[in-house]
């Protein structure tokens, strides 16, 4: 394991919070992800299902968690099932968790092999009235691939048709949205790794490089600092590519005088960071580029101050739209008449800023949360406004990650990462000066 796992007590607290919200005489089951095939004998690197990881810290395939607060036998109130190691697995894959290691990692005393799961479940279901099933209810979820969780849900409904079912997701969306201090520390570690990668890129970025060469510099720094790599597919968008919001080809040659929009984040221990910076390939912004850049930065800084307990995401986005409208008027991209006659359902600013300003951040880059409910202290959000001007050949987005505080302004986990235009220029110019000596 290349990252430092959180103490078992964190996962005990997470499980306790979940079980406190379960209905009486009910149990809940959570499955790990599959190892997904590519073709022939090739597979993608394993990524643990974030829900079971949140509740256990177990980062291994074929793992199952069973929670049953009202189990007649106390030892079955928390049960972990893990894959049993054999000599073949030891030789070809390395050893898996032992039962003793699993207990120490998760804080769960009762650990069985995964092969025993069906027998144990059938026995415990005799004492339960209902079962909590963990469907994927994220608003952006894709359901094209059947997961291990999906297969279990099909099976359990057939095997126990008389039992009532409940949904785990409404509970998890509330719990995972508010982070424990130890969880925030993991996100901060991911942010620090991302910052190191960005400083490296500021030193080496030159016109004539390919976008994928910039991506490679980030990968180098991430891996050497204990990250498994990118928290999401990186965006390295030079020149007009910055106006493609989810541009991921990263194969264009960077031109002289162009801006490069960089949207990347390291993961650390399955926790995500999410950074965006837009930098001048030649080391210096043009006056127009800097004018637009500073407008985006002002919106970001003002938007972040809104992230306080009590405000809802829709209210927040409405206010940020007002900030952006002011800046677009100042830049001459909108007119007073356009604003006056705008459709309330499609504000004029959306022509140049067409995406949302913030999303929850955590174990998933677009993490769990309920947007209709007020923001709470302990939630972590990105703040990422942008202005995209295809007719001028560039787009600018800036993004930092913030923790909502009980009082006052949110804590910027990326405050140490350069963002002011003058500071970025100074770092890039200093690197060029050293290179010329």
Residues tagged active-site: 41, 246, 263, 274, 355, 359, 366, 384, 388, 397, 399
3-state secondary structure the chain: CCCCCCCHHHHHHHHHHHHHCCCCCEEEEEECCCCCEEECCEECCCCCCHHHHHHHCCCCCCCEEEECCCCCCHHHCEEEEECCCCHHHHHHCCCCCCHHHHHHHHCCCEEEEHHHHHHHHHHHHCCCCEEEECCCCCCCCCCCCCCHHHHHHHHHHHHCCCCEEEECHHHHHHHHHECCHHHHHHHHHHHHHHHHHHHHHHHHCCCCCEHHHHHHHHHHHHHHCCCCCECCCCEEEEHHHHHCCCCCCCCCECCCCCEEEEEECEEECCEECCEEEEEECCCCCCHHHHHHHHHHHHHHHHHHHCCCCCCCHHHHHHHHHHHHHHHHHHCCCCCHHHHHCCECCECHHHHCCCCCCCCECCCCCCCCCCCCCCCCCCEEEEECCEEEEHHHCEEEECEEEEECCCCCCCEECCCCCCCCHHHHHHHHHHHHHHHHC
């Amino acid at each position: 394991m290349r990252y430092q796992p959180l103490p078992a007590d964190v996962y005990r607290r997470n499980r306790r919070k979940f079980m406190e919200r379960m209905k009486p005489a009910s149990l809940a089951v959570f499955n790990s992800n599959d190892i997904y095939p590519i073709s022939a004998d090739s597979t993608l690197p394993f990524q643990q299902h974030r829900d079971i990881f949140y509740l256990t810290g177990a980062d291994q395939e074929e793992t199952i968690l069973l929670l049953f607060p009202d189990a007649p036998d106390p030892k079955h109130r928390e049960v972990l099932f893990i894959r049993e190691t054999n000599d073949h697995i030891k030789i070809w894959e390395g050893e898996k968790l032992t039962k003793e290691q699993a207990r120490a990692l998760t804080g769960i005393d009762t650990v069985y092999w995964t092969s025993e799961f069906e027998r144990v479940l059938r026995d415990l279901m005799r004492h339960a009235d209902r079962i909590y099933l963990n469907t994927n209810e994220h608003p952006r979820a894709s359901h094209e691939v059947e997961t291990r969780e999906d297969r279990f849900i099909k099976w359990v409904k057939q095997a126990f048709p008389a039992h009532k079912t409940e949904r785990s997701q409404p509970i998890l969306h509330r719990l995972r949205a508010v982070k424990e201090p130890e969880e925030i520390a993991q996100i901060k570690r991911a942010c620090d790794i991302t910052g190191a990668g960005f400083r490296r890129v500021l030193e080496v970025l030159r016109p004539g490089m390919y976008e994928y060469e910039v991506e490679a510099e980030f990968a180098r720094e991430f891996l050497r600092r204990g990250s498994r790599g990118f928290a999401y597919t990186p965006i390295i968008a030079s020149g007009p590519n910055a106006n493609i919001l989810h541009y991921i080809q990263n194969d264009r040659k960077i031109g002289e005088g162009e801006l490069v929009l960089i949207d990347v984040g390291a993961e650390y221990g399955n926790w995500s960071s999410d950074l965006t910076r837009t930098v001048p390939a030649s080391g210096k912004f043009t006056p127009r580029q800097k004018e637009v850049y500073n407008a985006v930065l002002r919106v970001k800084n003002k938007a972040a101050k809104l992230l306080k307990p009590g405000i809802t995401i829709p209210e927040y986005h409405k206010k940020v739209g007002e900030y952006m409208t002011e800046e677009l008027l100042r830049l001459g991209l909108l007119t007073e008449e356009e604003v006056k006659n705008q459709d309330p359902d499609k504000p004029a600013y959306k022509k140049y800023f067409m995406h949302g300003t913030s999303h929850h951040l955590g174990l998933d880059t677009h993490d769990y949360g309920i947007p209709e409910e007020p923001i709470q202290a302990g939630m972590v959000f990105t703040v990422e406004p942008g202005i995209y001007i295809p007719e001028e050949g560039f787009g600018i987005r800036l993004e930092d990650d913030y923790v909502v505080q009980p009082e006052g302004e949110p804590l910027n986990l990326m405050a140490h990462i350069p963002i002011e235009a003058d500071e970025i220029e100074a770092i890039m110019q200093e690197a060029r000066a050293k290179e010329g000596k």
